Structure formats: structure tokens, C-alpha cells
Amino acid sequence: MEPVYNPQLIEREAQAHWDRSGAARALEPQDTGTGRPKFYCLCMFPYPSGKLHMGHVRNYTIGDVISRFHRMRGFNVLQPMGWDAFGLPAENAAMANKVPPARWTYDNIATMKQQLKSLGFAIDWERELATCTPDYYRWNQWLFLRMLECGLVYRKSGVVNWDPVDRTVLANEQVIDGRGWRTGAVIEKREIPMYYMRITAFSEELLAALDTLPGWPERVKTMQANWIGKSHGVNIGFPYELAGENKVLRVFTTRADTLMGVTFCAVAPEHPLAAHAARGDAKLAAFVEECKRGSVMEADLAQMDKKGMPTGLYVTHPISGEKLEVWVGNYVLMTYGEGAVMGVPAHDERDFAFAKKYGLPIKPVIDVAGKPYSTDAWQDWYAEHGVCVNSGRYDGMDFEHSVDAIAADLKARDLGDKQVTWRLRDWGISRQRYWGTPIPIIHCATCGDVPVPDDQLPVVLPEDCVPDGSGNPLNKRQDFLACVCPSCGKPARRETDTMDTFVDSSWYYIRYACPDQSAAMVDARVKYWLPVDQYIGGIEHAILHLLYSRFWTKVMRKLELVAFDEPFAKLLTQGMVLNEIFYRKAGEGRITYYNPADVDFVNDDSGKRAGAVLRADGLPVESDGIGTMSKSKNNGVDPQDLIEQYGADTARLFMMFTSPPEQTLEWSDAGVEGSYRFLRRFWAFAHQWQTPIAAESARRKGAFDHYQFPADLAAARPRHAALRREVHAVLKQATFDIQRNQFNTVASAAMKLLNALNGSLDAAEAAASGAGAAQAALHEGMGILLRVLYPIAPHVCHALWSALGYAGELLDAPWPEVDEAALHQDEIELVLQVNGKLRGRLTVPSTATREHIESLAITHEAVQRHGEGRPVKKAIVVPGKLVNVVV
């Protein structure tokens, strides 16, 4: 055994050993022999962006800790890995470097796979998949066609960001402040035909099934429920006459009780009525055009100034018969409800602002606890429920009664009824981009849109295209475009849109069970492995990816491809990895960002940071606060440097130690040194005590459980009894913490164990060490420490386990059991409080009764002193913890 910790050597040897023995291979049920239960532990697969980033290291370390822990607990663990390999960055890289996205992607996969291996994750690489291979995406196409057959896929028009200069569709992230990222041109909204997946057919089920997921974080379930957005309201029709025809403007509202306070109606700029009115009104047409400028992002729309224009058209109030003017409002969303709203300025904040701006009447119709209403300024309580006033026959009714009455009256006039509306919209999957799954459709002049027959799947994406920013290169590929109509046999044109990459990630976790199955999308192995027992990924995926995956699962279940309802039994959402952003402003408002690795801090005497300088020139740099690691802010940290300098175990230990998984993690180099120091100290300690531990191992033939300590250990060797008590107390905590995924305190438990072992022994005992309590306690403690630390830092523990003579593979050793007998104490110390304030301590026998403790407390000197002679009102005893005397 080397005297000094050498991570490079240890890690190379451990990884080679695990590779040779196939340690990470998951067993199929027929091979498990003893019938170990399965445990499918899955981390969200990475986009192959080039190199691993810290978020990956964090994600996959968490997954590996959970996987290795469950293996110690006797499970047949599956931990697979693959590549979310289609997507926009590959096209951007192609534009920058003139390299085909395929080539760039496969190169990145090779690099990142190497990096993952160097971190020692117990991944079953035999199941690796990449979504950009035809073997995988053919099943995207196949299921798309099945969904088309049963009406779960359909075609309609959708809105995209259009760059009028590059004449191309842009992704939201390519639109900056309403302008194209490359051209700077003002972006327009444009409607084009797209394919949609009917996720709304499952709205009710997606919402209700959240209650069947106790293993999901509450906050994720809340976010999904809000996203699905079920709301109960009333659909109201406002009749009008247009060109001699009787028509009805439909709106949806959750506040039908305010119907008598409607003073106008507003429609979205895309609403047919707006288009109609604009035809005869140049100013209105200009306004509608103005609304069409800018991005399609909801966040942008929501933060725009609320603007509107009257259409000159009037509708009739369905109850009062009053004429109401119809406005076009830029804040009305075409995608929600009917694309039109009734304006109730008195009781809706947005309508209030709108009415004030354009001088529309405000008519209060709800009385909230008799508070006085004033139209001067909006008050939050204006939107609260109350009792109807100024509402004719509805006066005096509360929310529920008035909604019921109004809905009934509307129904009688055939102008509305109660209705449930969802915020959730169907999933538009068409992308006007090259690097994705081709949509298997053929456009025929005679037959229309014809599905590609199954026996012609997959529609293979040519891999040698290089996008240049001028649109989808597939549109220029005759060999791709030209095809024959499967229906009539005439020449036809292939669809060039590709699928949203969320399609790829919606079912990859199922394919891991049968990645080599070429004849079908899934096979019998899926039944054994799925659903995923533990899913781990970034909190940023809390809504979209997880919702689409849940939807996709329900579709596959409906098509009888799988038998489960929900894909992920338990979910752990890890926090983002952040780092400080440093910059300097040069001339002309230009900002240069500096990587934190190149910045040094200047500290004052107390160790408080006083400033920061660039190491290269020693001059100050400014801090722009903390943000997610990104290329644009140059604040990323390359884990490769960390692994090379300190080794994988240090990288893993630091990632786990520095904060609990669900919390955002702020990067700091300083803590890395601490983790490295601990591992070095650990190694040095093991080296120092190798002889007695190995001797004990030999005596016990490697056995590391069922230690026999004399019953009078506490009396005979109080120090060893104290050591055992501490070791088992820490173990108890660590066992609890690792099961609730709080790995930072598991790491600190390992540190405490080392401190305990280190502090309990001295050289004299080492010299005297033969068989005996000292040696046995040391052997036991070390065996526990190695197993507690192993899931986090497996290489070093693996090496020490065998160097110290413990039997078998640490990989398969069971997680240690707490010896409750070791925790026993004859006397315990209680905290003594007077009126809830700490005033002293009390040592009592662990068997002391409540009455005994009370009497000891009341007569205690500190209680007498702080009680100042006042009578004792009562004493509260919390067993094993404290006693509080109230005076």
C-alpha cells in the first residue's frame, strides 16, 4: 500500500477492474438467480454539446450514489446512459465551423463518453443509445404514424418567429429583444402549417395522475397542475350582426358573476373579428400589424405595455342587451379560451388598466365586505369574490349562486353554459430544421398528405448536410425530397420538417430496456425494467420534458405497447450549478466576460472579500453577480481540469458535499481543496493503521459484521465504548440521510467517522495492538466508514477495502447495520431552560422519570437564579432532550 494518496493510479486500477468484471452490467430477470428486485435508476441523458459541464457531473454523481447504494441494499440495478443527440446547437456549430451536425455530434459523444468513464460511474454502457441514429428515430416515426391513425396527431397552422432577412424560422432563443440574432431584423410572427400531438386529450388524466405520484416533489406536481391549468367557468356568447348575418362572439370567463359589469369586449390581434375590422380601417390594420411584430414568447407578450384599439364593431350584452364596443387588445391570447375576453374593468386588474388608459367606463358590480370602491386606483381586493350589486336580478347573490343563475339564464337564451377550460395546449412538433427526426409524410399533388408506409421506415436523414442559416438544407436536397406517392405512385415531395427534440426524450428511458431490438419499438424486457424507479434531472425540466414523457407513456399504454401509466415512480430534481460572472466594460459599451478561473480575490484582514482582479494583468474586474454556467457569460468550469488535478473521487465528493442535490449550487474552488485534503487524510490514516486492521481482517477471515464486544465494555474500556457509540450514531444519521437523498450530510458523516476514529486511538495502543477491543472497534469503524463513503467516492474505498483485507468486493458489500446496543448510555445530559431560554445543563440517569427530572430542574441553581423568586407555573419535559421551567 502506497503511503500517499495517488488518485490517478487508484482510479485507473479500480475502473479497469470494474470494466473487466462487468460490474455495471444490469442483469435480465432470468440471470438474476437469487431474484434480486430490480431498481431502474435513470439520469436525464445529456445533450452532446462538446464537453461535460458541472451540471452533468452533479447529475450523474447523484445517480451513481443512488445506484451504488441500492446495489448495496440488494437490488439488481440498471443505470443506463445515452445521448439526446438531435437539436439546434449542432446546426449552430455547423454554421460556425462548416462541419456537418452529424460529424460534430458523434465527435462530441466520443469525448463526453470518455469523460463519463473517467468519473467512474457504474453505467451499463451496453445499452447506450443516441437519438440521432435511424435505429432510434425510426420508432419516433413509427409511433407518429400510429398516432396519426388514431387522431392523436393532426395538422393545423401555428405561429413561428420569422426572420424576414434570412427568410427563416427562428427558435425563441435566437430572438433577442424581438430581433433576429444574426441579422438584427425585427422578427415577425408568421403562421405556417404544423403537426400537433393531441396532448389535450389527456389533460384530465395528466392532472389526476399527479396524485398517484407520491415520489415526486410537491413543487413539480404543483407546477404541472398549474401548467395544465384546469379552470371552471362559463362560456358566454355576445351576439352581433355582421353584413346582415347574425353571429356570436364567444368568450370564456371564470368570473361570470361580474357579467353585469362588462363595459367592453377585447379580442386577440389574430382573432377573425380583428382581421375583419382591419380590412376597412387602415389605422386598425396598422395596429394589428404592429402586434404581429416581435417574438411569440409568452414572457415577452405578458410584459408588453397593454395596448388596444377599437374596432368600431359592437356586440350585444347577452343579459342587459346593452351595446358593447369590441376592441383589439395585444394582451389577449389567441391560444387560450376563445381568443376573446369580456372586459370587466372594475374587477380585473388588466381590464382596469386598459379602461383607465382608454377612458372606458368602470362599473363596480361586486361588493366585498362593504368596502368602498373607488375608480382612482386599483386595489387588490377589487378582484376578490363578494356579493353582486348593480346587477339587476342577481343582486345579493354570492359568487356561486350568481354564476349558477347567470349560466342558467345564458343557457336558456342559447348564449352560453358552464364550461371547463384548460391552459394546456396541443403540442406542436414540427420544426423547420434539419437536425431532427424527419416527419414521415409525403406530399402528393393528387392525394394530399400521405403517411410513409411502415415498410419504408425509417425515413433516413442524410448526414452530410451543412446548414448555413438560410433555412432547412433538406429543402435543397433532391435525393431526399424526391419520392413516389405511396398511394398513387406519381412523383411526390417529401416533408422536410423534422420533429421537436422533446419527442426523442419522451421515451428514451423505455428504449434502454431493449436498445438492440430491431423488429419493434419495445419488447418483453420493458415489462421487467419499467417504470423507472428513480429519475434524476435538472429542475429546469420540471414541466415540459416531464409532461411530454408522461403524455407519451399514456399514448403507448393506450396503443398497448406498455402496461404502466406513469414513467417515473420517484423524481429528484437537482438544482442548477451557478458561478460568479466577471466582466470589464471596454469602450463603446462593449463588455468582455472573464472566466472566474482566471480571477483572483483580494481579501481583507477578516478574510472577507474586498475585490477581484484578473490574474493575467492584476487589474480589477467587476462582478455581475451569480448566474447559471453558460458560454455567453464565460463563467463555466470545465470538470476535466478538476478530474485531472484531483481525481474523480474528489470531484464527486466535492459535488455531493457542497450542497444538497435539490438546492442551487454555487461554484467555489476553495471547497474542492477541502474534499481532496479529506481523501488524503483518509488514505494516510488507513496506511498508518493498516497493520492492526489487516491483522484483524485476517483473524476474522475478512468478515466485517457481527462483532462481539464484551458486555462490560463501557466499564472496562470507556473510550472504545464511546467510539462505538459515536460510530453507530453517525451511521444511523448517514443511513437516514442517504435514503432521503441528502448526500452532503452523508459526506460529512464520513468526515465525522474519520475524525472519531482518528481521535480515539494513539500510538501506544497501536504498539500494544493484538486482538482486543481497540483493534476490533477500529476494524468495525473502518469497515463502516468505507461503506458509508463508497457510493460517493468509490475508487478510493474500493482500493482500501481490499488493501485492508475486508472480504469480497466492496461493490457487493451490504450497507452497514446500526448496532442499537452500542448507542446505549447510562447517563444523559438534558438542556435546562427557564422561560424558553438556555440557562444550564442537567445530567440525569437515562431511566429518570419525568417527575424526577422536574424536581431536579426546579431546585437547580440556575432556575433559582433566573426565576428571581417567582413561582414556577409549569415545567415541560421533552424526553432525552430538555426541560423548560416556566415562571
Q: Which stretch binds RNA (CB under 7 A): 7-15, 238-246, 471-479, 655-663?
A: 655-663
Selected from 29, 50, 74, 89, the binder of RNA by CB under 7 A is 89
166 binds RNA (CB under 7 A): no
Q: Which three cell numbers stand for residue 415?
A: 348564449
Q: Which three cell numbers stand for residue 170?
A: 427562428
Q: Which is nearer to RNA, 397 or 883 (CB)?
A: 883
683 binds RNA (CB under 7 A): no
Binding mask 21-60 for RNA (x = CB under 7 A): --------------------------x-------------
Q: Which is nearer to RNA, 21 or 475 (CB)?
A: 475
Q: Which residues pair with 247 in a beta bridge?
A: 240
Rounded to 10°, the helix 54-72/639-646 angle is: 60
Residue 195 C-beta: closest distance to RNA, Å: 10
Q: Which is nearer to RNA, 561 or 749 (CB)?
A: 749
From the CB of residue 33, how many other CB atoms can be counted at a distance below 10 Å? 8
Q: Which is nearer to RNA, 223 or 285 (CB)?
A: 223
Pairing assessment for the beta strands 366-367 and 308-316 based on DSSP bridges: unpaired
745 binds RNA (CB under 7 A): yes
Task: With CA atoms as reference, report the closest residue to 666 among 567, 724, 596.
Answer: 596
C-alpha to C-alpha distance for 390 and 367, rounded to whole angstroms: 10
C-alpha to C-alpha distance for 792 and 61, rounded to whole angstroms: 7
Selected from 84, 270, 533, 819, the binder of RNA by CB under 7 A is 84
Residues 300-319 touching RNA, rule: CB under 7 A, are: 302-303
658 binds RNA (CB under 7 A): yes
3-state SS track over 246-309: EEEEEEEECCHHHHHHCCEEEECCCCHHHHHHHHCCHHHHHHHHHHHECCCCHHHHHHCCCCEE
Residue 228 C-beta: closest distance to RNA, Å: 8
77 binds RNA (CB under 7 A): no
Q: Which stretch binds RNA (CB under 7 A): 249-257, 286-294, 311-319, 501-509?
A: 501-509
Q: Which stretch binds RNA (CB under 7 A): 68-76, 84-92, 255-263, 271-279?
A: 84-92
Selected from 178, 239, 674, 772, the binder of RNA by CB under 7 A is 674
839 binds RNA (CB under 7 A): yes
296 binds RNA (CB under 7 A): yes
170 binds RNA (CB under 7 A): yes
C-alpha to C-alpha distance for 522 and 325, rounded to whole angstroms: 57
Q: Which stretch binds RNA (CB under 7 A): 59-67, 145-153, 458-466, 541-549?
A: 541-549
C-alpha to C-alpha distance for 32 and 203, rounded to whole angstroms: 40
Q: How far is CA 692 from CA 765, 780, 801, in A?
A: 10, 12, 14
Amino acid letter at 800? L
Q: Which stretch binds RNA (CB under 7 A): 410-418, 550-558, 606-614, 844-852?
A: 606-614
Selected from 664, 691, 739, 864, the binder of RNA by CB under 7 A is 664
Write the burial class of residue 733 (CB in 10 Å: 0-12 exposed, 13-18 middle, 19+ buried): middle
758 binds RNA (CB under 7 A): yes
578 binds RNA (CB under 7 A): yes
169 binds RNA (CB under 7 A): yes
831 binds RNA (CB under 7 A): yes
605 binds RNA (CB under 7 A): yes
Selected from 250, 401, 681, 687, the binder of RNA by CB under 7 A is 681
223 binds RNA (CB under 7 A): yes
Q: Which stretch binds RNA (CB under 7 A): 24-32, 60-68, 297-305, 310-318?
A: 297-305
C-alpha to C-alpha distance for 236 and 418, rounded to whole angstroms: 9
Binding mask 502-521 for RNA (x = CB under 7 A): x--x----------------
Asked if residue 458 has a cis previous peptide bond (ω within 30° of 0), the answer is yes
Contacts 24+ apart (CB under 8 A), 229-232: 229/422, 229/423, 229/424, 230/203, 230/204, 230/420, 230/421, 230/422, 230/423, 231/420, 231/421, 231/422, 231/423, 232/418, 232/419, 232/420
Q: Which residues pair with 592 in a beta bridge?
A: 584
Q: Which three cell numbers stand for residue 784?
A: 463502516
Selected from 172, 183, 595, 690, the binder of RNA by CB under 7 A is 172
Binding mask 100-139 for RNA (x = CB under 7 A): ----------------------------------------
Q: What is the dihedral of CA 118, 121, 125, 129, to 10 degrees?
A: -90
Q: Which stretch binds RNA (CB under 7 A): 104-112, 164-172, 371-379, 800-808?
A: 164-172
845 binds RNA (CB under 7 A): no
863 binds RNA (CB under 7 A): no
Q: Which is nearer to RNA, 689 or 704 (CB)?
A: 689
Q: Which three cell numbers stand for residue 768?
A: 500494544
239 binds RNA (CB under 7 A): no
Q: Which residues pair with 245 in a beta bridge?
A: 242
489 binds RNA (CB under 7 A): no
Q: Which stretch binds RNA (CB under 7 A): 98-106, 549-557, 583-591, 735-743?
A: 735-743
Residue 401 C-beta: closest distance to RNA, Å: 26
Task: With CA atoms as reference, report the closest residue to 750 among 47, 27, 65.
Answer: 65
Q: Which stretch binds RNA (CB under 7 A): 7-15, 610-618, 635-643, 739-747?
A: 739-747
**Whether the Cβ atoms of residue 292 and residue 186 lie closer than 8 Å to each other:** no
Residues 413-452 touching RNA, rule: CB under 7 A, are: 423-425, 427-428, 430-433
Task: With CA atoms as reference, report the closest residue to 263 among 312, 307, 308, 327.
Answer: 327
Residue 243 C-beta: closest distance to RNA, Å: 34
Selected from 27, 209, 297, 405, the binder of RNA by CB under 7 A is 297
C-alpha to C-alpha distance for 567 and 582, rounded to whole angstroms: 42
Q: Which is nearer to RNA, 36 or 680 (CB)?
A: 680
**Whether the Cβ atoms of residue 885 and residue 837 lie closer than 8 Å to each other:** no
Distant-in-sequence, close-in-space partners of 157: CB < 8 Å, separation ≥ 6? 191, 192, 193, 194
Largest CA distance in the chain: 109
Selected from 78, 88, 342, 774, the binder of RNA by CB under 7 A is 88
737 binds RNA (CB under 7 A): yes
Selected from 626, 715, 716, 821, the binder of RNA by CB under 7 A is 626
In the block, residue with C-alpha cell 472497534: 777
Rounded to 10°, the helix 670-688/690-699 angle is: 60
State the first-to-last Cα distance of the chain, in angstroms, to the nearest integer.
63
Selected from 419, 501, 650, 760, the binder of RNA by CB under 7 A is 501
In the block, residue with C-alpha cell 376578490: 384
From the CB of residue 585, how many other CB atoms can be counted at a distance below 10 Å? 10
3-state secondary structure of 467: coil
Half-sphere exposure of 595 (CA within 13 A, CB side): 10
Query: Phi first, then psi: what are they for 480, rounded to 5°?
Result: -90, -45
What is the phi-psi region of residue 874: left when phi exceeds 0, alpha when psi lies from -120 to 50, beta otherwise?
beta
Q: Which stretch binds RNA (CB under 7 A): 239-247, 407-415, 600-608, 795-803?
A: 600-608
The size of the interface with RNA (CB under 7 A), counted in residues, is 107
Selected from 670, 711, 763, 764, the binder of RNA by CB under 7 A is 670
Q: Which stretch binds RNA (CB under 7 A): 85-93, 95-103, 393-401, 842-850?
A: 85-93
Length of the chain (residues) = 887
Residue 308 C-beta: closest distance to RNA, Å: 16
Residues 342-401 touching RNA, rule: CB under 7 A, are: none
Selected from 511, 541, 554, 652, the binder of RNA by CB under 7 A is 541
C-alpha to C-alpha distance for 850 and 872, rounded to whole angstroms: 16
Selected from 677, 824, 850, 852, the binder of RNA by CB under 7 A is 677
Give the sheet arrangement for strand 568-574, strand by strand: 76-78, 38-43, 532-538, 568-574
